[in-house]
Amino acid sequence: MSGVDLDEFAALIDRPEPSLRHDAKARRQRTEAPAGTLGKLEELGDWLASVQGQVPVRPIERARVVLFAGDHGIAKREVSARPAGTASALVRSVLGGGGAVNVLARQYGAVVRVVDMALDCDPAELPEDVVRHRVRRGSGMIDVEDALTADEAEAAFRAGVAIADEEADSGTDLVLLGDVSVGGTTAAGVLIAGLCGTDASVVTGRGSGIDDLAWMRKCAAIRDALRRARPVLGDQLPLLATVGGADLTAATGFLLQCAVRKMPVVLDGVVSAACALTAQRVAFRAPDWWLAGQAAGEPAQDKALDRLSLQPLVDHGVRLGEGTGALLALPLLKAAAALSAELPVRD
């Protein structure tokens, strides 16, 4: 993994400017809205001022949903409600505009981007702009083998960094980060259990809606993968290669580079929370650039967000993934930005 120097991220990432939060609050106190009457919207407006680097806040006009896609070999253990190797069908639905994420994105004015990192299908079946970053066809069965080789993990991480740069250069002003995967919540559970020092049963959730037998299989898979992860818990790229997968590795690099580029991110569910927790181990200031969109009812997500000191903005029990939870928070952020920017200020 010598080709990627993770220490550089810790040096490059600064916290958002704290004085701008104070300036935004001072400006709001000169409006007609009494202090505290706008509740959570006030805090979000102050956060937006700090991550945008200006007061008053700019409206959110170029929100982008970024979905990293991949199939996980661990799904062959029947740990998901969906058959192993079928994430490409979900991707085709999104690309065709028929996914729940598409409906919400149209409603809230966001653009959806899908990035294939390790789908188990012929790349010729999907558009070139979707598959051009793919590093392999499916990830390994993490209970008995590594998800990726060292070279594949480095390639996936670099792809995530490159995609963050593409988004920043194109003018994206808010990223809604999600995943399209089968078996992804199992890999996420392993990462979170390892990084939080807990056991498999604490982080094993229902994911895509599994029954009790599938839950037990998932718990066993996380337990066995966790044993393989423990020797590399202190080294994030080898950890991601061992038990993460190409999509999670790319999302981790993406989150770090977004913080470098000062581009705010809203996390979706347990998979993006696992990537954020891994990225925090690289650069402890990076989480200041992120928000948690929605509580998905997954114990692993709760554990990760607690470690990240992030509180979900909404809690509607939506477990679908695919960026839907992050999108549900977008109207709140747009409202906070509009109120912060447009409420008249007294002379």
Judge whether 10 and 161 are in contact, CB under 8 Å.
no
Judge whether 69 and 115 are in contact, CB under 8 Å.
yes
Q: Is 71 helix (H, G, I), strand (E, B) or coil?
A: strand
Q: Is 198 helix (H, G, I), strand (E, B) or coil?
A: coil
Q: Is 78 helix (H, G, I), strand (E, B) or coil?
A: coil
Nearest to 178 by CA among 128, 244, 120, 113: 113
Looking from the CA of 28 toward its CB, the CA atoms found within 13 Å total 26
Q: Which amino acid is at 289?
A: W
Examine the residue annotation and report whether 322 is marked as an active-site residue of this protein: yes
Angle at 112 between CA 106 and CA 117, to 5 degrees: 155
Report CA Rg, the chain.
19
Nearest to 286 by CA among 259, 252, 257, 250: 259
Judge whether 283 and 256 are in contact, CB under 8 Å.
yes
Which structure tokens are listed for 31?
Answer: 């409006």
- Residue with the two structure tokens 């994430």: 87
- Residue with the two structure tokens 């199939």: 71
d(CA 192, CA 301): 8
- Residue with the two structure tokens 């209970």: 143
d(CA 30, CA 344): 8
Catalytic option among 8, 61, 322, 342? 322
Cβ-based burial of 230 (10 A; exposed 0-12, middle 13-18, buried ≥19) = middle
Nearest to 77 by CA among 136, 138, 143: 143
d(CA 294, CA 296): 6
Residues that are catalytic: 322
